[in-house]
Amino acid sequence: MKAILETAVAQPRFSMNQIYLVIRQNAAPHHLALYQAIQTALGEAASRKVIQGILRFAFFIEPVKTPKIESTKFAVRWGLEISSSDPRFASYMDCLAIYDQLLIEIQTMLEDEVQRQLLHAFTDQSLIAYELPLDYVVRNRDQPIHRPENILFFWDDLPHKVAGLRKWLRGSSQSGFFKAAYSKIVVKSYLTDRVLTGEHKTNREKRWETHPGSVHFALRRDCLEIELALISQLCYFADFPRDLQQQLEEQGLLSLAQLQESGLIIGTERVSRCPITLEPLSFVEFRAELLAPRHGKATYQVGHIHPLKAVSDNPYVGHTGKNISWISAQGNRIQGEYSVAETRELIIRISQNYQATGLIH
């Protein structure tokens, strides 16, 4: 199996489907029994995606290529691309232990109909390749992160809400808009920006596969929470179709109270506002822009409440659902490198200065 994986990443084009087929053809009896049990529970198509997702997570990583920092390339965790002193490094035996652990765990979980439905929802509504509710327990910065004891499936309310919203919105009367919106949200939620300075350079890596010591690292759960926050806030933009909004609330997929509590919606109103200018964010305007984009123009953007400056586990500082929001282009320019709170204090001080000098009344 090790030789199959190493051969795959050495090819000019990486093919997970080809790896899956070769591994199944050469499977050890205990692995073959697990594959067949998963297929019996989920069916051929879904089981193939789930097993490929486990393969992808257990053995592979997709680091940015150096020195140009222009694209990513698949590698095995024990390959030359990852130094043995890097927290992301893992030996083949560690990866194999993770693989075995996940196959056994998911076989047990598939006895639950709710969990089977969630896996079907993820395979049917995936936004990124090989997507599963699978994550690290903790973010190890100085110790190895990719270890069997630090891996978990998460089956709580979060992945159910995310998958449920994807299904409803992509199948709604606004499906064209939401397909475009999700394309934007995927990049902002799950992939790193292009960063060419500092110790950890990044460019469109999966957030949970960049170096854990980077400010751009995020657990997969954090990325799902960001997707949920951005989609939920978007569903309260001014002029958003009220009937669709009401359906989502009735299904328990939208929570106005949670958005108000997090500060993504101000006060008791039902309208998302730019956190800097406090002007309502317009669904009609955003939809027109997404469906007929103009190069270099983005009226509405995604910004961090506190800019990513320091490595921290504080959910209000890092790349998390509590630290991200839609923001107008004008608001984003005004905010610059400051936090929203610092920017608001500056705006108030400027306003007071104008009043004090009699320039405004």
Residues 150, 191, single domain; the answer is no
Residues 71, 128, single domain; the answer is yes
Among 130, 155, 180, residue at a domain's last position: 155
Residues 148, 169, single domain; the answer is no
Residues 3, 112, single domain; the answer is yes
What tens digit of pLDDT does each residue of 258-303 get? 888 888 888 888 999 999 999 999 999 999 999 988 877 788 999 9
Which helix or strand (DSSP H or E) is residue 32 part of? helix 29-42
pLDDT at 66: 84
Does pLDDT of 361 surpass 80? no
Does pLDDT of 174 surpass 80? yes
Residues 97, 170, single domain; the answer is no
Domain containing 130 equals 1-155
Residues 277, 316, single domain; the answer is yes
Span 178-185, average pLDDT? 94
Among 124, 155, 186, residue at a domain's last position: 155
Residues 65, 214, single domain; the answer is no
In total, the chain counts a number of residues equal to: 361
Q: Output b/e per residue, 305-341; b: 16+ Cβ within 10 A.
A: bbbbeebeeeeebbbbbbbbbbbbeebbebbeeebbe
70 or 361: which carries more pLDDT confidence?
70
- Residue 128 and residue 139: Cα distance in Å, rounded? 21
How much is the pTM? 0.94
Among 127, 155, 183, residue at a domain's last position: 155
CA angle 107, 95, 137 (to 5 degrees): 70
Residues 177, 148, single domain; the answer is no
Residues 180, 146, single domain; the answer is no
DSSP state letters, 221-284: HHHHHHHHHHHHHHTTSBT--HHHHHHHHHTT---HHHHHHHTSS-TT-S--B-TTT-PBPBHH
Residues 258, 271, single domain; the answer is yes
Q: How many domains does the chain contain in total?
A: 2
Record the tokens describing residue 322, joined without a space: 């509590």
Residues 186, 87, single domain; the answer is no
Residues 350, 213, single domain; the answer is yes
